[in-house]
Structure 1
Amino acid sequence: MSTRRLVLGLSMRYLGYHAAGWRHPGANAAGTTSFAHYRTVAQAAETAGFDLVFLADGMAVRVRDEPKGAFAQSSQVADFEPLTLLSALAAVTSRIGLVATASTTYNQPYSLARQYASLDLLSGGRAGWNVVTSWSDAEARNFGLDTNPDYATRYHRAEEFVDVVTGLWDSWDEDALLHDKDNACFLDPAKLHTLNHQGDEFRVRGPLSVPRSPQRRPVIVQAGASDAGMNLAARTADLVYTAPQSQDAAITFRSELRERAAAFGRDPDALRVLPGFVPFTGLTEEDARAASGELNELIPDELARQYLYNQMGNLSDHPLDGPVPDPQAGASVGSIARNLADMAQRDNLTLRELARVIASGYGARVVVDAGKHIAAEMLDWFHSGAADGFNICAPLLPETIGDFYRHVMPVLEKSGLLTDRNIPTLRGRIGLPAPASRYA
């Protein structure tokens, strides 16, 4: 049985989740391609007590010029390749986990397994792989296709892809490398295993050329909320990101995910569910609202509508000051669109107001309150079974880290529920046992 602690992740892509963050007077607008910016963010997150940093990714420029002019207003068009960046950050951090997205649709299992195993060794057992299937046709067009493979095909490939990668990560027993100079024996061949995978999508012989790390294999992260996504997470994931707009929705999701994990023969306590939210905080609620309002005033109208269309489909035929319709069938991320529509109905939001909310946090739940109230809500979610921790989607980086550290973290520290920062591996820090090798 694993020990359940409150896990804190920081999503650190771009300059933060707020669409207008790059326009803030204190922001380094060139930070999206500055190693110094990401080094500052990762080191600040480590000092503040976060367990991991998370770098989302898409293998294309996915911002569309809808409506006209939005493309030129977006900062989400220039960034680093995640594993290259996290490998560099591994050298300037010592305790914080390093998690990055990689697609099962536009990669091959052997090369991806090798890359993440290398990051895991370089970091001393702090790597994690966020498994995605890629949803945009912009990515397809960078890999010789006009459109993405259909939903069922992508998830069928993803299931096999993860099985191959985890199989390759089992290639080396812990004591396979002997380094015996006197007897000229570098390794024990009996402890190096060949996978010989033959499946519908892949044929991979193995073994992997990268030995095992101190945490045995990288942590697997997944964020799918669809039926197939939840099954993939329940069967394979260690950490699961989710984006509920209410505590009840979070409780329902986590409960169902744990039931599915048990049906796959897994211990449900071997899962960590981390809802995401975008915190605007300060000493008082007034301080938090001032910070939120300052950024919201910087959102150009075209960019706000672009965020709306990206999550909800093209709603240009609907008046901005009218009610929010049901999500269109073509909305890019269906579960997020449904959550947003439910939130808009609950809070009686107009399309314009919803556009501002989405542009503030790209569809994640936005929370504007005093730090002590945010911390109390986080602890309530943890105790109620809505969450095992949280993926903090910072609206502005690195500023949000300091605000969170000063105003939220002291209350969380007093709870006694935070993880042990002295544990060197990510898997150990979040209270998960090393998975057994299939060759054990």
Structure 2
Amino acid sequence: MDIRLWKEMARAVERARIHFMFWADGIAVRHSAKDDDELSFNPRIDVFEPLTVIGALAAVTERLGFVASASTTYNEPYHVARKFASLDYVSEGRVGWNVVTSWSEQEAFNFGLDAHVEHGKRYRRAEEFVDVVFGLWDSWEDDAFIRDKQNGRYFDPAKLHTLNHKGEILKVKGPLNVARPIQGYPVIAQAGSSGPGQDLGARIADLIYAQHKTKDQATAFYRSVKEHGAKAGRDPDSMLVMPGILPVLGRTKAEAEDKFAQMQDMVHPRVGLPMLAEVFGDLSGHDLDGPLPPPLSGSNSVKSAYDKLVELGRQPGMTIRKLYQTQAGASGHCVFVGTASEAANLMQDWFESRGCDGWNLIPPFMPGPAMECLEWLVPELQRRGLAQTEYEGDGTLRGSLGLPRPTFHSRGAHARENGTFIGKPRS
């Protein structure tokens, strides 16, 4: 909760010529602790609302982009459309929306519900929600606001498009009381790996987040994403797949391994066990160094995360302690322990094997390991020609990523009905 730290980090990230910073988010204290005493060991409690902090960081940077999650389950589309459009102007075109459906039951309790919305309905709402948001961003054509002082006319009425949406779940008249965003639409990120999630991402996303521990998993997912995009009428190369990597770096591999061992030993069981509770139930009475019990059947949470945790639990020699240490470190993401050069080798191999188009760097804690990523790893990638040394494009996040500015009515329901998608070649 120290804004001075975040300002310092944003400036350092921009100096390293990283494309953007990303914030996940939830609208609750999200946890699986069985009581408040167990919850008191969880450090992920008090966090900034990300759109607020992005507004502050945009003011102290010039080219760095910012992407944040906003849930389609417990927000209204007008709020999301207005906030991101406003931030696009505040940042001069440097924001992106990570489209998510909420997974935590705690969020449902904060919005008048007694149970979490069922998985299938969450995705039906998400599909309709994003169409409404795109429709609201298209309330005004790019040159609608003529501001004719001589005749007193503020906008061209022929270029106003009131949405008048009446769907299965949502009813929104519009228009949005913000002009069309600088980027046309803010960059759209999406992280769903389930069938419905990939279908949604194929239709709307510029960035696809991924969680994979091996190159084989990554390349299989990469192929699947590109195939989904092609079937949706997209140029597959317009969808940039970005897995996460948590690099524990050292000057030598032995130093990095020692750091990692220390961090793993610090994961308290009262933090680790709740991370497994939704899939394996209450494990507090089990031998932490013993095998995992059979998983609980079904889940109304994140389907892909449930499946991956079950898969990890079945690995030979896996114990309860090892699994919660893995989850506490980087969830389903790739964890790398070694030197910056060795980390760059892995990242380059996945990229050249078509397992990714880019990477999300996940520091194991702040701020030390984050600075090691910026000062050790990024320069190594730059020396290899794998990371930019200067920002490119027109100053917007889309320009930095090499993504074209979407034309009016090129996304959302209008695009789905008319097949008007845009893309760019992979470089």
TM-score by length of 1: 0.87
Out of 391, 394, 399, the position equivalent to 1:421 is 391
In the other structure, the counterpart of 1:302 is: 270
In the other structure, the counterpart of 1:9 is: none
Out of 357, 362, 366, the position equivalent to 1:397 is 366
Q: CA deviation at 1:84?
A: 1.3
Aligned-partner Cα distance in 1 for 2:109–2:378: 43
The percentage of aligned residue pairs carrying the same residue is 43
Which structure 2 residues correspond to residues 189-228 of structure 1 after superposition, within 5 A? Answer: 189-228=157-196
Q: Could you tell me whether the CA contact under 8 Å between 2:207 and 2:240 is conserved in 1?
A: yes
The amino acid that maps onto 2:391 is R
The amino acid that maps onto 1:412 is L
Alpha-carbon RMSD: 2.1
In the other structure, the counterpart of 2:352 is: 383
In the other structure, the counterpart of 1:250 is: 218
The amino acid that maps onto 2:95 is A
- 1:164 to 1:170, Cα distance in 2 relative to 1, 3 A: same
Q: Deviations over 1:162-210 (max 9, x none)?
A: 0010111112222222233334333222222212212111122222111
In the other structure, the counterpart of 1:140 is: 108
In the other structure, the counterpart of 1:369 is: 338
323-332 or 246-255: which moved more? 323-332
Aligned-partner Cα distance in 2 for 1:132–1:343: 24
Q: Could you tell me whether the CA contact under 8 Å between 1:311 and 1:363 is conserved in 2?
A: no
In the other structure, the counterpart of 1:162 is: 130
Secondary structure of the residue that 1:130 maps to in structure 2? Answer: strand
User: Are 1:336 and 2:305 an aligned pair?
Assistant: yes
Q: CA deviation at 1:229?
A: 0.8
User: Are 1:104 and 2:72 an aligned pair?
Assistant: yes
Q: Could you tell me whether the CA contact under 8 Å between 1:68 and 1:302 is conserved in 2?
A: no
Q: CA deviation at 1:290?
A: 2.5
In the other structure, the counterpart of 1:149 is: 117
In the other structure, the counterpart of 1:282 is: 250
- 1:311 to 1:223, Cα distance in 2 relative to 1, 3 A: farther
Q: CA deviation at 1:125?
A: 0.7
Aligned-partner Cα distance in 2 for 1:299–1:418: 33
Q: Could you tell me whether the CA contact under 8 Å between 1:219 and 1:238 is conserved in 2?
A: yes
Secondary structure of the residue that 1:389 maps to in structure 2? Answer: coil
User: Are 1:93 and 2:61 an aligned pair?
Assistant: yes
Aligned-partner Cα distance in 2 for 1:88–1:73: 30
Q: CA deviation at 1:367?
A: 1.3
Secondary structure of the residue that 1:178 maps to in structure 2? Answer: coil
Q: Point out where structure 1 has 5 or more consecutive residues left out of the alignment.
A: 1-32
Aligned-partner Cα distance in 2 for 1:217–1:291: 42
- 1:326 to 1:373, Cα distance in 2 relative to 1, 3 A: farther
Aligned-partner Cα distance in 2 for 1:324–1:365: 22
Q: Could you tell me whether the CA contact under 8 Å between 2:246 and 2:335 is conserved in 1?
A: yes
Out of 404, 408, 414, the position equivalent to 1:433 is 404
Q: CA deviation at 1:221?
A: 0.9
Aligned-partner Cα distance in 2 for 1:396–1:158: 32
Q: CA deviation at 1:212?
A: 2.2
Secondary structure of the residue that 2:404 maps to in structure 1? Answer: coil
The amino acid that maps onto 2:169 is E
Secondary structure of the residue that 1:228 maps to in structure 2? Answer: helix
Q: Could you tell me whether the CA contact under 8 Å between 1:239 and 1:272 is conserved in 2?
A: yes
Secondary structure of the residue that 2:87 maps to in structure 1? Answer: helix
Aligned-partner Cα distance in 2 for 1:229–1:313: 26
- 1:210 to 1:233, Cα distance in 2 relative to 1, 3 A: same
330-339 or 372-381: which moved more? 330-339
Q: CA deviation at 1:348?
A: 3.0
Q: Could you tell me whether the CA contact under 8 Å between 2:66 and 2:94 is conserved in 1?
A: yes
The amino acid that maps onto 1:404 is C
- 1:347 to 1:391, Cα distance in 2 relative to 1, 3 A: farther
Out of 222, 227, 230, the position equivalent to 1:262 is 230
Secondary structure of the residue that 1:322 maps to in structure 2? Answer: coil
Aligned-partner Cα distance in 1 for 2:280–2:208: 23
Q: Could you tell me whether the CA contact under 8 Å between 1:308 and 1:359 is conserved in 2?
A: no
Which structure 2 residues correspond to residues 309-324 of structure 1 after superposition, within 5 A? Answer: 309=277, 312-316=280-284, 318-324=286-292
Secondary structure of the residue that 1:153 maps to in structure 2? Answer: helix
Out of 186, 200, 209, the position equivalent to 1:241 is 209
Q: CA deviation at 1:339?
A: 2.5
Q: Deviations over 1:253-308 (max 9, x none)?
A: 11111111111111111101111121111222122122223323332222122223
Q: CA deviation at 1:60?
A: 0.6
